[in-house]
Amino acid sequence: MLSRYVDVDGLSISLRGGVLSLQLDDPGKRNALNDVSLRGLIDALELAQNDQNVRAVLLSGAGGHFCSGFDIVERNVDGGERPRTGAIQRRLPSQAHRLIVQLCELQVPVVSGVSGYAVGIGMQFVLASDFVVADRTATFWEPFVARGMTPDSGATWLAVRAVGPLRARRLLMLGQRLEADVAAEWGIVHEVAADGRAEAEARELATSLAAGPTVALGLTRRLINSAAEARLRDQLDSEAYALELSSRSPDFREGLKAFVEKRQPTFGGR
């Protein structure tokens, strides 16, 4: 399949070695999202879902920060006329909320490399990722209530699943900020890297995952993400279907052959 990923203002996209790199790129605003970069992410992930060249996704931010949330100042203060009542409720399903669903349902591993601020929807990117590598400059923060707002972009759903209701209240109702070490203790961060190394080490991890058995990894991700809402028997049925699919893949045959031959497998992502 021919890849057609296109950079937009505030978002740089590249596909190399099976890793689709989505780098937020508006350092002057600490990589805050706006309508253009948000649409760019949605379009890239929609393409990625159907692109067999994509075997892992890497999220990162340029200029020392990951993502400082959505630029609500531009929309509500600098942008002139304020949206009328009800505009947010109508808009979110096709914008930020659609993006979070895409990240959660994507059938390849997602890795985030975090330096500096991961705030608001940036924090939701983190919580929707399979693995997060952060350096000690990282700060994770849900600032909604501090701004007089209620959470969006899946914050209440993702936070409860990630850290449980009590800690979710500390994040969402008290606005507790987490540094990298505490985020690691809470199970949000997979690895704490040396300062300035978060993106590089996240890329190494994404590259390793991209070299894995993509079908098995994708189905496993789907099973994990559905487990909390599933009954045991339904989850067992889902595991049976996933095993049926993965065991018919060329990568399964390669894994079995490598085991018999006592060598490391070379997976093709098929």
pLDDT tens per residue, range 203-247: 999 999 999 999 999 999 999 999 988 999 999 999 999 999 999
Sheet holding 110-114, edge to edge: 10-16, 19-25, 56-61, 110-114, 131-135, 191-193
pTM over 0.75: yes
Could you give the CA distance from residue 71 to residue 79 in angstroms, rounded to a whole number? 11
Which amino acid would we find at residue 198?
A: A
Per-residue pLDDT at 253: 94
* Radius of gyration for the chain, computed over Cα atoms and rounded to the nearest angstrom: 19
Residue 76, pLDDT above cutoff 80? no
Sole residue written with tokens 């490399």: 113
- What local confidence, expressed as pLDDT, does residue 90 receive? 59
What are the DSSP E strand ranges found in the chain? 10-16, 19-25, 56-61, 110-114, 117-119, 131-135, 139-141, 178-179, 191-193
Query: Smallest Cα–Cα separation from 219: which of 205, 202, 240?
Result: 240
Write the DSSP symbol of residue 127: H
Q: What is the pLDDT of residues 100-150, one digit of tens each?
A: 999 999 999 999 999 999 999 999 999 999 999 999 999 999 999 998 989
Predicted pLDDT of residue 1: 42
Query: Of all residues in the chain, what percent carry a pLDDT higher than 70?
Result: 90
Position 38 pLDDT exceeds 60: yes
Helices (H) and strands (E) in the chain, counts: 11, 9
Domain 10-210 has CATH 3.90.226.10: yes
Stretch 251-266: mean pLDDT: 93
Question: Domain locations in the chain?
Answer: 10-210, 214-260
Q: If you average pLDDT over every residue of the chain, what do you get?
A: 91
